[in-house]
Chain A
Amino acid sequence: MTKSVKVLLVSVLLLFIGSVIAVIIIVRKPKGTYVEIVQNNEIIYSFDLSEEKNRTFRIAGQQGGWNEVRIEDGKISITDADCPDHTCVKAGVLRSENIPIVCLPHKLVIRFADKEQK
């Protein structure tokens, strides 16, 4: 084997390993951190939880009322609201892709964003 063939083989090998690593990184891109806050079918916030700063903010209902949303260490929850049942507050932090946080009286939904949807 000539020297140039060896160099070529090594570079092909490196290219191969490099692309394998790249594929792994792309595939393992953290999922389940994109979240949308939807008020009566209108997306009012959407963000990547893993990049959001800790903060608490209020969302005013379209027909009055409010919900207080907290983002803390990459997790999102409704911490307070003026609705009668407080189901949204009791739901705690958003965990499941199948179970959104819902405030029925204020038509507010917090859920993981669908990857298939743009």
Chain B
Amino acid sequence: MAKFKTVVMTSVFIVFLLCGCESKAEPNVSDDISMTRDVFAMDTFMNMKAYGSNAEKALSEAEKRVYSLENELSVTSESSDIWSINHSQGEAVTICDDTAKLVNKAIEIGDKTNGALDITLYPVLKEWGFTGEEYKIPEQSVLNELLSYVDYSKIDIEGNTIIVPEKAEIDLGAVAKGYTGDEIMKIFKENGVKSAIVSLGGNVQALGSKPDGSDWKVAVRNPFSPDTDMCVITISDKAVITSGNYERFFTDDNGNRYWHILDPADGRPADNGLVSVTVIGDCGLDCDALSTALFVEGYENTKDFLRNNDGYDLILVTDDNIIFYTEGLIESFSNISDMEAEVIKLD
């Protein structure tokens, strides 16, 4: 009978053990609770999610910061620094620290990428109608006339004083959202948030990792089918920022597509072999500026850039449907599209 009891007890024990697989350990309940906030600003949809007991306060402060940055950096708001610069007729203008920082960064990335990023392209962008809803294809002669005022190297910036030549106009659209991501992360940290993720119109930036310690999964859109994802990468404490030809574009009567990322060389949509560039790095501002610049640079020049600059990982999609990604992503990259994916070889 003793044997019988042993069998019963052992069996019951095993069953309990197996059932125990479902129960979850919850070490700290408040760290596991997330709060989310939608923000409609900078002409885009932003979603922020933060974990922990300070999440709500952090989200509210971050939301305020987004609106204040929008007021400083918007090209269309009459109270913004950018408006003052664009209506200064060549006179010196005093700007706030954020604007100065972004202008300096844009100049730095322009210099690093053979002028592929040029914040003085704004008049050309307006001519194409990418700043409003009425798109049009400008005559090349009109573009050439406008391009004669495009040259970011003529911007004179010293501390908080900037002089932009007469007839030149700037726009920080290529860097503003990346910087906004950095500033949100800063506010989250100041509020003791250890785990958060934001999406600013598709640009993703994460603070720390998920509350359970695992990495965040971030999907990158398929440029050929923008309502689906093409790959997933796992990250922590990083920004993942994409520039693609699908974000804002129009098509003419013959089905030709014209997109909003313009090549400063000819003032036309940049068409150098890449349809999507994703930059992954620590600093959202750098990643944002680079995603635009490298989109304009094209595949070969982007390889040159990688040879001379480290600290970034890239996912490129070429116009012949191939995904190229950097070696640093081998562990974290998974292709969920029907495109081929290859590692970029630099030698």
A interface, CB within 8 angstroms of B? 2, 4-5, 8-9, 12, 15-16, 19-20, 23, 26, 38, 40-41, 84-85, 91-92, 95-96, 98-100, 102, 104, 107, 109, 114, 116-117
Nearest A residue to B3 via CB reads: A5
> A41 touching B34 by the CB < 8 A rule?
no
CA distance A17 to B109 in the complex (A): 62
List A contacts of B228 (CB < 8 A): 95-96
Are A107 and B221 in touch, CB under 8 angstroms? no
Q: Does B28 contact A (CB under 8 A)?
A: no
Residues of the B chain whose Cβ atoms lie less than 8 Å from the Cβ of A38: 38
Q: Is B36 at the interface (CB under 8 A from chain A)?
A: yes
Interface string of B208-242 (1 = CB under 8 A from A): 00000000000101000001110000000000000
For the complex, is B346 an interface residue (Cβ under 8 Å from A)? no
Instruction: Judge if B7 is at the interface, Cβ distance under 8 Å.
Output: yes
- Contacting pair B7 A95 (CB below 8 A): no
Whether A95 contacts B18 in the complex (CB less than 8 A), given A104-B43, A104-B45, A109-B45, comes out as: no
Q: A98-B219, A104-B43 are in contact. Are A16 and B37 (CB under 8 A)?
A: no
In contact, A15 and B219 (Cβ under 8 angstroms): no
Inter-subunit contact B40/A107 (CB<8 Å) = yes
Least CB distance from A107 to B in Å reads: 5
Q: Is B253 an interface residue (CB 8 A)?
A: no
Some 6 contacts from A to B, beta carbons below 8 A apart, are A16-B14, A19-B15, A23-B21, A41-B37, A98-B229, A100-B45
**Chain B residues near A85 (CB-CB < 8 A):** 133
Q: Nearest 6 CB-CB pairs, A to B?
A: A12-B11, A102-B45, A98-B219, A107-B40, A41-B38, A19-B19
